[in-house]
């Protein structure tokens, strides 16, 4: 594996480790509190704050069906970091398995254009 690929894997590893370290100190999720839409309509943000008291997230039900989830911004950021962690782990696996293309911006644009032309010709058949 070339030094550029090794450097890329090292960068991804560092990012994964930073993400894990920042997520490590997040509170453990608890069972979700339920908030109905009518209570939210009458009490507003106070109802959300009450539902989130000691909880990481709360569901909002509309006509008896859970439809939405509210959470504090810190928990939202934690979940986004988890998504990033998963994406970086997949990228790392792809690089390790050789599932990547190394090319210039011009080569990339030409390859995408060729793919589009193939797709158009296949769909017209």
Query: Per residue in 11-51, pLDDT tens?
Result: 677 667 666 665 555 444 446 888 999 999 999 999 999 99
Q: What are phi and psi of 66, to 5 degrees?
A: -65, 125
- By the 8 A CB rule, do 97 and 18 touch? no
Nearest to 27 by CA among 76, 67, 97: 76
Residue 122's pLDDT is what?
A: 87
**Overall domain count for the chain:** 1
The size of the chain, in residues, is 125
Looking at the DSSP bridge assignments, the partners of residue 89 are none
Q: Which domain holds residue 21?
A: 3-123
- The residue behind tokens 């943000």 is 45
Domain of 56: which CATH number? 3.40.1620.10
Q: Is the pLDDT of residue 1 over 60?
A: no
* Distance, CA of 24 to chain centre: 17
Tens digits of residue pLDDT in 97-117: 999 999 999 999 999 999 999
């Amino acid at each position: 594996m070339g030094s550029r690929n090794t450097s890329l894997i090292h960068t991804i590893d560092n990012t994964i480790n930073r993400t894990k370290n920042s997520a490590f100190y997040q509170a453990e999720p608890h069972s979700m509190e339920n908030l109905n839409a009518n209570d939210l309509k009458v009490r507003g943000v106070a109802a959300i704050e009450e539902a989130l008291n000691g909880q990481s997230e709360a569901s909002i039900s509309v006509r008896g069906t859970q439809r939405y989830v509210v959470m504090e911004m810190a928990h939202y950021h934690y979940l986004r970091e988890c998504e990033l962690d998963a994406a970086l782990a997949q990228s790392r696996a792809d690089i390790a398995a050789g599932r990547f293309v190394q090319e210039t911006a011009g080569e990339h644009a030409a390859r995408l254009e060729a793919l589009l032309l193939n797709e158009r010709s296949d769909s017209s058949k």
